[in-house]
Structure 1
């Protein structure tokens, strides 16, 4: 599967950067034609499930995900880490988000292993580049 990594530095304290990058409905506001529905009761934790739906009408697809690891930054943890597993049939893979203190701000690392099941593996590099562009844009806006 094509894996990509995005690193952003920001002036936000780790707790605020974490809050922003794990606000699932807010992610959808950064990606055109996408809305997110959280399927489990708050707060987010291991086992939280949500679906990002992208597209219009018949030309849309669901990207269901489940949080499989949840460790917010705080006094007991040097950094925050969240792992998501894509559970759909169209998009598969996983994403990991890490938030670390950096000076007076934070460093956020987004790693994702993304596969479009109906595309030939020869197009994996294109999928990775597209994922990097879309999620890089979204991450920049989430942290602004």
Structure 2
């Protein structure tokens, strides 16, 4: 079955493939202080319990991605990242909409995520998508200055 979702800026969202690992690692490294290596993405993309979705153009140039994990009736957003020049244009929302649409075909009934409490843009998006803060984890994220950031744990029902 072909899975394909529309996205802004002439892009679309489709399932990621193992060959996308290098691009995902590049975008993740542009987005987070401690980007994950290509080998980690290769492992995730080879595992059916960690589906990933890429936002790309007709030539399959990837501009963003979302990676989730499914375990029994729960899903977790492991990470989501968009190229810096494409941020603020609805691409994160399009990726999450594709994730939700695909999860409707899975046994998952609730989704969780962690987000840096200072990442107001991400928190605003997650709240618009129906996520609510259920707890926090102090010292969860390392910062470049050596300090540690608190993560908010957010969840939402999948319907």
- Superposed pair shares fold, TM > 0.5: no
Higher relative contact order (CA 8 A, sep 6+): 1
Whichever structure has more strand as a proportion of its residues is: 1
TM-score (norm 1): 0.29
